[in-house]
Structure 1
Amino acid sequence: MESVAFRPGGLNRYFAALCKEFERMPDWDTRVIRWSDHVTVKRAGVVGTAKRVVFYLRKGLDDRSEIVDSHFSFYGLAYILGRSLSGRKSGYTFISHFHGPWYAESRIAKPRRLNSFKFKRLIEKFVYSRSTIIVVLSEFFRDYLVEHFGVEGEKIHILKPGVDTEWFFYREFDKPRLSATNLLAVRRLDARMGLDVAIRALPHMDPSATLTIAGDGRERGSLEGLVSELGLMGRVHFAGKVSDRQLVTLYQTHDATVVPSIALEGFGMVVLESLSCGTPVVASRLGGLVEALEEFDSSLLVDPGSPEALASRISAVVASGAPTRESCRAFALSHEWSSVAKNHSDLYRASRDG
Structure 2
Amino acid sequence: MSTHASTQSIKSLQIGMHWFPERAGGLDRMYYTLVGALPAAGVEVRGVVAGSPRVAVDTGGAIRGFGPAAQSLPRRLMNARSALRDTLRDERPDVVSSHFALYTFPGLDVTRGIAQVSHFQGPWADESHVEGADSFGQRAKFMLERRVYARSSRLIVLSEAFGQILNARYGVPEERIRVVPGCVDVAQFDLKMTRTEARRRLQLPLGRPVVLAVRRLVRRMGLESLIDAMTRVKQKVPDVLLLIAGKGRLAEELQARIDAAGLDENVRLLGFVPDDHLAALYRAADVSIVPTVALEGFGLITVESLASGTPVLVTPVGGLPEAVRGLSKDLVLESTGADAIANGLIASFDGTLDLPDEAACRRYAWEHFDRSVIAKRVAAVYEEAIEAGPVH
Q: Which TM-score applies when normalising by structure 1?
A: 0.91
SS at match of 1:31: strand
Match of 1:199 among 227, 242, 254: 227
> Which runs of no fewer than 5 residues in structure 2 stay unpaired?
1-16, 54-64, 200-205
Residue 34 of structure 1 is matched in structure 2 by: 49
Q: Distance in 2 between matches of 1:75 and 1:137?
A: 20
Residue 339 of structure 1 is matched in structure 2 by: 373
Residue 21 (structure 1) aligned with residue 55 (structure 2): no
Contact 2:163 2:179 in 1 (8 A): yes
Residue 310 (structure 1) aligned with residue 341 (structure 2): yes
Residue 286 of structure 1 is matched in structure 2 by: 317
What does the per-residue CA deviation read over 1:168-213, in whole Å, with 9 as the maximum and x for residues that have no partner?
Answer: 1143428598332211111111100101111111111122111111
Give 1:63-102 correspondences, 5 Å limit: 63=88, 64-81=92-109, 83=110, 89-90=112-113, 92-102=114-124
Residue 51 (structure 1) aligned with residue 75 (structure 2): yes
**Cα deviation, residue 23, structure 1:** 3.2
Residue 298 of structure 1 is matched in structure 2 by: 329
Name the amino acid aligned to 1:271. Answer: T
**Cα deviation, residue 144, structure 1:** 0.3
What does the per-residue CA deviation read over 1:17-61, in whole Å, with 9 as the maximum and x for residues that have no partner?
Answer: 110011334x432112221243799554xx432232112111232
Q: Distance in 1 between matches of 2:146 and 2:251?
A: 32
> Which runs of no fewer than 5 residues in structure 1 stay unpaired?
none
SS at match of 1:265: coil
SS at match of 2:188: coil
Residue 353 of structure 1 is matched in structure 2 by: 387
SS at match of 1:279: coil
Q: Distance in 2 between matches of 1:140 and 1:28?
A: 28
Give 1:170-181 correspondences, 5 Å limit: 170-173=191-194, 175=196, 178-181=206-209
Q: CA RMSD in A?
A: 2.0
Count of residues in Structure 1 that have an aligned counterpart in Structure 2:
344
Match of 2:273 among 242, 247, 253: 242
SS at match of 1:302: coil
Instruction: Flag as ranges the 4+ runs of structure 1 deviating above 6 A.
Output: none
SS at match of 1:258: strand
What does the per-residue CA deviation read over 1:223-275, in whole Å, with 9 as the maximum and x for residues that have no partner?
Answer: 11211221212222111112111111110101111100000000101001100
Identity of aligned residues (%): 32
Residue 135 of structure 2 is matched in structure 1 by: 114
Q: Which TM-score applies when normalising by structure 2?
A: 0.83
After superposition, the Cα gap between the structure-2 partners of 1:165 and 1:242, relative to the gap in structure 1 and judged at 3 Å, is same
Q: Distance in 1 between matches of 2:79 and 2:67?
A: 15
Name the amino acid aligned to 1:258. Answer: I
Residue 241 of structure 2 is matched in structure 1 by: 210
Name the amino acid aligned to 2:249. Answer: R
SS at match of 2:136: helix
After superposition, the Cα gap between the structure-2 partners of 1:263 and 1:184, relative to the gap in structure 1 and judged at 3 Å, is same
Residue 215 of structure 2 is matched in structure 1 by: 187
SS at match of 2:314: strand
Residue 267 of structure 1 is matched in structure 2 by: 298
Give 1:132-151 correspondences, 5 Å limit: 132-151=153-172
Name the amino acid aligned to 2:371. Answer: W
Contact 2:258 2:264 in 1 (8 A): yes
Contact 1:213 1:239 in 2 (8 A): yes
Name the amino acid aligned to 2:226. Answer: A
SS at match of 1:32: strand
Residue 326 (structure 1) aligned with residue 359 (structure 2): yes
Residue 223 (structure 1) aligned with residue 246 (structure 2): no
After superposition, the Cα gap between the structure-2 partners of 1:252 and 1:41, relative to the gap in structure 1 and judged at 3 Å, is farther
Q: Distance in 1 between matches of 2:335 and 2:384?
A: 39
Contact 2:66 2:80 in 1 (8 A): no
SS at match of 1:233: coil
Name the amino acid aligned to 1:107. Answer: H
Residue 157 (structure 1) aligned with residue 191 (structure 2): no
Q: Distance in 2 between matches of 1:258 and 1:124?
A: 31
SS at match of 2:192: coil
**Cα deviation, residue 323, structure 1:** 1.7
Q: Distance in 2 between matches of 1:43 and 1:33?
A: 13
Residue 59 of structure 2 is matched in structure 1 by: none
After superposition, the Cα gap between the structure-2 partners of 1:172 and 1:322, relative to the gap in structure 1 and judged at 3 Å, is farther
Contact 1:255 1:279 in 2 (8 A): yes
Q: Distance in 2 between matches of 1:268 and 1:313?
A: 18
